[in-house]
């Protein structure tokens, strides 16, 4: 025995698994959705994903070099954050926005608070919220894809739309709570056309004010709105060449196109709409809207459109299958509920994420939505609930965002409480709030409550209660 023996404290064996392995597994679970996103939305989406992931890693590396800290980029946590940020971007967003988001997430939310293990909020979600605040127009400009699988499905409009009229109006202002900013954003994006009618129209168009579409009492306006909404050339077929032109111009930058049809009524309605957005009272205008438009799918590339949530917000129904599979507009990685579900189950089976969070979150949200839908008298409450589940960022949030170890509680009962809080908050946001998307805000709120939840659910050590009882 010539060699020296190694001495270290017990235990001398360890379970397999490291931090970096966990991060790798999360990335693997996210890949199917990413691939689908790229196939659906085109190569620009791939660029976004690569840029966001890369800049997150780079930001961490640079920060650690400058602050002379241990280089931890290889543990993969920055990559996960970056990828999640990328998956939260609308497909045609300018490249520098996710980069800013990644840098913000890594430097401000994660590193400034102490690095890995110390972020008080999910960095990807915090970045998403920051970007929605900072660049609301770009972050809410959704388009259909230019990718291989690009097929946009039409929504089936139902009678509930009437009941949900104001919700539709409200959502116009819903991107950010500050209506001033909304107006400002609108003004910004329609920099091109400055005529009154145009401005109003364009602003309308810019926003997701598809509610405006419904508000129009004449067919033209309706056609125009639809075109804006789903960017379906079909609207053109519906009325006349003007509408088609509208759709085209829509896509190009939304200038006077709308004005071409019926500038007055459109403008009036839309200005009204914008005003309504600010004040929130649109009952009459909305109610007058025709409710049974049908749309054909168009073959335009990258037409601006709305996400399914807008329809749901108005009580309209959206094709369930499309929602589940992912043939809908939305952010790059959030559309396919199926693939996200598969990824989530994969992680749960491997023990990477605790099943309690997604199960209790989706469960509580589902139950609450079901009850609300039934109470509101929707046609098919169960179907509506499923649509709410699969639309927007809920699947992504439930499996990949809320389950972030650092910002979620570490006790089992704590996680259940956490998930229930998010479920209730998301329900409140989606059903009663101005926002169309409540998931990010709900999760962030719950993240802030995590230390409190941890304290509340701290276990009583083995044998302690008994002693107190007997002493």
Q: What does the CA dihedral 166, 332, 99, 437 come to, rounded to 10 degrees? A: 20
CB of 357 to other proteins, least distance (A): 11
Q: State the SS3 of the chain.
A: CCCCCCCCCCCCCCCCCCHHHHHHHHHHHHHHHHHHHHHHHCHHHHHHHHHHHHHHHHHHHHHHHHCCCCCCHHHCHHHHHHHHHHHCCCCCCCCHHHHHHHHHHHHHHHHCCCCCCCCCCCHHHHHHHHHHHHCHHHHCCEECCCCCCCCCCCCECCCHHHHCHHHHHHHHHHCCCCHHHHHHHHHHHCCCCCCHHHHHHHHHHHCCCCHHHHHCCCHHHHHHHHHHHHCCCHHHHHCCHHHHHHHHHHHHHCCCHHHHHHHHHHHHHHHHHHHHHHHCCCHHHHHHCCCCCCCCCCCCCCCEECCHHHHHHCCCECCHHHHHHCCCCCCCCCCCHHHHHHHHHHHHHCCCCCCHHHHHHHHHHHHHHHHHHHHHCCCCHHHHHHHHHHCCCHHHHHHHHCCCCCCCCCCHHHHHHHHHHHHHHHHHHHHHCCCCCCHHHHHHHHHHHHHHHHHHCCCCCCCHHHHHHHC
Interface with other proteins, residue 325, by CB under 8 A: no
User: Cα dihedral angle (134, 89, 61, 16), rounded to 10 degrees?
Assistant: 130
Interaction of residue 7 with other proteins, rule CB under 8 A: yes
CB of 188 to other proteins, least distance (A): 7
Span of 175-183, 223-231, 374-382, 422-430 interacting with other proteins by CB under 8 A: 175-183
Query: From the list 214, 220, 228, 354, which residue makes contact with other proteins (rule: CB under 8 A)?
Result: 354
Residues 95-114 that bind other proteins (CB under 8 A): 108
Contacts to other proteins from residues 210-269, by CB under 8 A: none
Using CB under 8 A, which of 31, 133, 245, 371 touches other proteins? 133
To the nearest 10 degrees (0 to 180), the angle between helices 123-134 and 439-456 is 140
Q: Which is nearer to other proteins, 188 or 297 (CB)?
A: 188
How many residues of this chain bind other proteins (CB under 8 A)?
A: 55
Cα separation of 393 and 373, whole Å? Answer: 20
Selected from 65, 151, 184, 379, the binder of other proteins by CB under 8 A is 184
Measured from the CB atom, is 346 or 410 closer to other proteins? 410
- Give the residue with the Cβ less far from other proteins, 101 or 326: 101
User: Shortest approach of other proteins to residue 347 CB, angstroms?
Assistant: 13
| 66 near other proteins, judged by CB under 8 A | no
Interacting positions 411-450 with other proteins (CB under 8 A):
411-412
Q: Does 5 bind other proteins (CB under 8 A)?
A: yes
For other proteins, the closer CB: 50 or 187: 187
Of the residues 178, 240, 284, 379, which one makes contact with other proteins according to CB under 8 A: 178
> Is 82 or 414 the residue whose CB approaches other proteins more closely?
414
Could you count the other beta carbons within 10 Å of the beta carbon of residue 66? Answer: 8
Select 118 or 299, whichever has its Cβ closest to other proteins: 118
Shortest reach from residue 394's CB to other proteins, in Å: 24
Q: Which position among 69, 117, 194, 279 is part of the footprint of other proteins (CB under 8 A)? A: 117
Treating both helix axes as pointing N-terminal to C-terminal, what angle do 19-41 and 77-87 enclose, rounded to 10 degrees?
20
By CB under 8 A, name the one of 54, 72, 163, 265 that touches other proteins: 72
Among 28, 39, 134, 428, binds other proteins (CB under 8 A): 134
* Binding track, positions 365-404, relative to other proteins; x by CB under 8 A: ----------------------------------------
Say whether residue 410 binds other proteins (CB under 8 A): yes
Q: At what angle do helices 43-66 and 19-41 cross, to 10 degrees?
A: 150
Q: Which is nearer to other proteins, 7 or 375 (CB)?
A: 7
Which of 179, 188, 265, 297 binds other proteins (CB under 8 A)? It is 188
Backbone phi, psi, residue 317, to 5°: -105, 155
Contacting residue, 24, 62, 116, 428, with other proteins by CB under 8 A? 116
Both tokens assigned to 287: 């109610």
Using CB under 8 A, which of 267, 406, 421, 444 touches other proteins?
Answer: 406
Which one of 19, 195, 265, 383 is in contact with other proteins (CB under 8 A)? 19
- CB under 8 A: which stretch of 14-22, 162-170, 244-252, 362-370 binds other proteins? 14-22
Question: Binder to other proteins among 405, 428, 445, 449 (CB under 8 A)?
Answer: 405
Residues that bind other proteins (CB under 8 A): 1-3, 5-15, 17-19, 21-22, 72, 75, 108, 115-118, 130, 133-136, 176, 178, 181, 184-185, 188, 354, 405-406, 408-412, 458-467
């Amino acid at each position: 025995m010539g060699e020296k023996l190694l001495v270290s404290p017990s235990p001398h064996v360890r379970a397999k698994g490291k931090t970096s392995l966990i991060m790798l597994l999360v990335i693997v679970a996210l890949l199917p959705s990413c691939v689908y996103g790229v196939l659906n939305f085109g190569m620009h989406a791939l660029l976004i994903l690569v840029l966001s992931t890369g800049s997150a890693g780079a930001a961490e590396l640079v920060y650690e070099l400058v602050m002379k800290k241990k280089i931890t980029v290889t543990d993969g946590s920055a990559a996960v954050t970056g990828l999640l940020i990328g998956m939260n971007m609308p497909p045609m967003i300018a490249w520098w926005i996710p980069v800013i988001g990644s840098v913000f997430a890594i430097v401000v939310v994660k590193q400034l608070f102490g690095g890995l293990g110390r972020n008080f909020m999910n960095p990807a979600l915090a970045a998403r919220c920051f970007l929605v605040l900072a660049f609301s127009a770009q972050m809410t400009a959704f388009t259909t894809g230019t990718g291989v699988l690009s097929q946009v499905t039409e929504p089936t409009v139902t009678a509930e739309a009437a009941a949900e009229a104001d919700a539709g109006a409200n959502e116009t202002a819903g991107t950010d709570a500050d209506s001033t900013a909304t107006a400002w954003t609108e003004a910004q994006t329609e920099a091109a056309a400055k005529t009154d009618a145009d401005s109003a129209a364009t602003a309308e168009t810019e926003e997701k004010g598809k509610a405006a579409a419904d508000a129009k009492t004449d067919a033209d306006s309706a056609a125009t709105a639809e075109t804006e909404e789903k960017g379906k050339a079909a609207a053109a077929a519906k009325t006349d060449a003007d509408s088609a032109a509208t759709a085209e111009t829509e896509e190009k930058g939304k200038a006077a196109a709308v004005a071409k049809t019926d500038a007055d009524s459109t403008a009036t309605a839309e200005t009204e709409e914008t005003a309504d957005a600010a004040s929130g009272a649109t009952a009459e205008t909305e109610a007058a809207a025709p409710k049974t438009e049908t749309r054909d799918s168009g073959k335009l590339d990258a037409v601006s459109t709305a996400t399914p949530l807008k329809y749901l917000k108005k009580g309209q129904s959206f094709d369930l299958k499309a929602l589940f599979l992912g043939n809908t507009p939305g952010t790059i990685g959030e559309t396919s509920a199926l693939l996200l579900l598969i990824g989530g189950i994969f992680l749960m089976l491997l023990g990477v994420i605790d099943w309690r969070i997604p199960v209790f979150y989706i469960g509580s949200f589902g139950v609450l939505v079901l009850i609300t839908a039934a109470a509101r008298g929707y046609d098919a409450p169960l179907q509506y609930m499923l649509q709410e589940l699969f639309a927007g960022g809920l699947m992504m949030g439930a499996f990949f965002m809320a389950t972030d170890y650092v910002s979620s509680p570490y006790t089992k009962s704590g996680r259940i409480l956490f998930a229930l809080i998010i479920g209730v908050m998301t329900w409140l946001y989606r059903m009663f709030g101005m926002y169309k998307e409540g998931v990010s805000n709900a999760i962030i709120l719950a993240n802030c409550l995590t230390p409190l939840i941890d304290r509340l659910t701290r276990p009583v050590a083995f044998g302690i209660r008994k002693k107190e009882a007997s002493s």
